[in-house]
Amino acid sequence: MKKLFPAALLSVGILAATVTQAQKASTAYQTQGQTVRIKTKAADLQIQVFSPNTVRVLRFPVGSKATKTSLSVNKAPDKTPFETAEAGGVITVKTALLTVSLNRQTGLVSFATRGGKSLLQEGAQDSLFVPTTDNGQPAYRVQQRFKLSAPEGIYGLGQFQDGIMNWRNHAVKLRQLNQYVANPFLVSTAGYGILWDNYSATVFRDNAAGASFSAALGDCSDYYFVYGQTMDGTVAGYRTLTGAAPMFGKWVFGFWQSRERYKSQDELLDVVKKYRALRVPLDNIVQDWQYWGTDNHYWNSTEFGNPNFPHPQAMVDAVHALNAHLMISVWPSFGDKTAIFKDLNQAGLLYDFKNWPTDGGVRVYDAFSPKARDILWGYMDKNLFSLGMDAWWLDASEPEQFDREGKMDSTQTALGTYRRVRNAFPLQHNKGVFEHQRAASSAKRVFILTRSAFAGQQRYGAATWSGDIQGSWEVLRKQISGGLNFSLAGIPYWTTDIGGFFTGKTYPLGVADPAFQELYVRWFQFGAFSPLFRSHGTDTPREIYQFGNKGDWAFDAQVKFIDLRYRLLPYIYSLSSKVTRQGYTLMRGLPMDFNADPKVFSIDNQFMFGPSVLVSPVTTAQYSTKGADATQKGSTDFSTIKSQSLYLPQSAGWYDFWTGEKLTGGQTISRPTPIDVMPLHIRAGAILPLGPVVQYAAEKFTAPLELRVYPGANAEFTLYEDENDSYNYEKGAFATIPLRWNEKTQQLSIGKRTGTFPGMAATRSFHVVFVKGTHGAGLGTTIKADRVVQYNGSALTVSK
């Protein structure tokens, strides 16, 4: 068969084992290194052992000479011991944890534990490889089917807007578009995951015939089976294969203000100054598009060509002087009068399909080309990074395009046709920016906000938001399942436009309409418990002072949740370290923590935020009514406090965060939802570290911490601290303090501190609170401590 991938992608592949004719005749399989090769009637099959819990299954058409190197997987197989055997027509490959079996008669692979417990089986299908063409050349559509067990739930695959949480008995097209993010990693409640390693548009479908991946193009069927035993272990296994998520600066977890767009540097600076004057916390201000000017021929020049930004260096310096950070928008497309366009065009590194904007000769660059990525960073570095920009907003990283078939599909990239590799565009685009900035400086951690993502993108310091969504209650509800499945697909950092990007159709009066204000406040509360907390949108401004003044309900409700978010930063930042070091997930679908409770498998409107906090967003209007028509404001009625039903998963119990009341798990309850309260419950057996109210994340980071202990079960938490930015943590410049609650002895142990870093406080004051029903545990900045202890790094014990 003719190679369909270009040499640039395929030159480093899996080399066929050299075996003698005698060996071929005497055995049904050959082993070389970590690979077992088996010929079946349908395909040349390879089973690669990556680790005791991870194997790769690779099939090529019989006699194919093609090879495959992954764009997503950057890990080589470990030298893992394994055993092979053949009996009764079945070839087995056994590791310390897994048994992988191939039935030679059917050609199907099955997976079981080392002890024989069945995990997953491939399902029969008409053909693995269906002939087609790729830009006139022979090619294949590739399919792979699996048989799932009846009770298991399956999650992940990326971010979608259909409100589906559990993919059982559903189908979805994995293709990058605005609002839709394809990441073909599937995780099961049975403790395993499947990474489908293909970069073309793929349909996933689960029905009576089984669960299947069907890719538009491919030279082979290529997937990784990860047996993590738990869903957390499986996601961690995915990150082991595809790369750890590096830490972000602590400021990233604070509050961001943005809009489409700030039209001058004075306007942008005034926003930061107003937040500081109001003493409302803020860590990031975002400059969206057109800082380069309004003529699309100069689209995305990466230069401040707009006369309303006459002194960009002074603007950046002023933001920093206000203890805030500045993020700026960069697209993967360029107007035909920009210098970067000319350089890319001269090198033949621009695509020729239609994209937005459609005027100005705007064209997308070839992100699959290392040279093109070099050119892009050269301009970003010279024009923006040199000014001290703190972060990148890589907008439209699908990329934005209109020729969704035909000309776009046949466009050539550095790695083959666009149709063949389209889903991996955001992976390569983010790779270029991350790797270049890391090479340029270690003084600040790379942070990228990007509209699309693909398997492995977490290793490039990238987070994703849910795209240009509409502002409505229905869409708010769907953000929850969208964000959860994105996180379950292995990429830990996600966010949404608070209030929805577009509001003009649903709330044409915007922020002046009390009906929109209620939607925004409830979305804001959800945003405060998303991995990243940001306000952004068009049609109406979103700054907090647009909603009134202190004493106005919409203003006060936002302040309450901004302050709560900043108080939670010790918890969030510690968990971000766990994300990096242990492959943890911050925004957690309920099956991750309550796998033994099948009632949670399809709950799509609640989630865990870290190990301790159960979040139940309010996703319906309770106090407002829309106006009779678009010209009229809605009205509000707060005379009666409304309530919301929610489910408390089976556990040792739960505490209402706002009242301290202890409740029994495994039941549906109703909780009051005044406009400034979103139901939050803390797991019995939790330790929740809280900091002071601050104006920005790094302020007062050595101040006393409150340690809230929620009795009912044993608990542990590791408090993590470092310099708050830079990559010195990779060199060991960080400290950890283990915290443990013993339910039997009713004692909190604050363990010996490990590690050190510049600026670390030698001693700390901990205000310990043993939560009980008499506490109003979230209604003030602090509550009275049961014990106050001084900690100098040595272990100590605090009794209740």
Query: Could you list the active site residues?
Result: 395, 398, 468
Say if CB 140 and CB 132 are below 8 A apart: yes
Q: 436: part of which helix (H) or strand (E)?
A: helix 425-440
Say if CB 98 and CB 112 are below 8 A apart: yes
Q: With CA atoms as reference, report the closest residue to 283 among 251, 322, 320, 258.
A: 251
Residue type present at position 494: W
Burial of 402 (0-12, 13-18, 19+ CB in 10 A): exposed
Q: With CA atoms as reference, report the closest residue to 325 among 441, 188, 445.
A: 445
C-alpha to C-alpha distances, 164 to 118, 167, 573, 605, nearest whole angstrom: 27, 7, 30, 10
Residues contacting residue 597 through CB under 8 Å, at least 6 positions apart: 590, 649, 650, 666
Q: What are the DSSP E strand ranges found in 209-261? A: 210-215, 221-227, 255-257
For 631-691, give the DSSP string: TS--EE--SS--EEEEEE-SSS-EEETTT--EE-SSEEEEEE--TT---EEEESSEEEEE-
Say if CB 707 and CB 687 are below 8 A apart: yes
Say if CB 460 and CB 430 are below 8 A apart: yes
Q: Output the CA angle 195-196-199, nearest 5 degrees.
A: 125
For 51-75, give the DSSP string: ETTEEEEEEEETT-------SS--P
CA distance 290 to 263: 8
The alpha carbon dihedral of 416, 421, 425, 430 has a sign of negative
Residues contacting residue 517 through CB under 8 Å, at least 6 positions apart: 511, 547, 554, 624
The alpha carbon dihedral of 264, 268, 269, 270 has a sign of positive
Residue type present at position 723: E
CA distance 71 to 596: 35
CA distance 187 to 206: 14
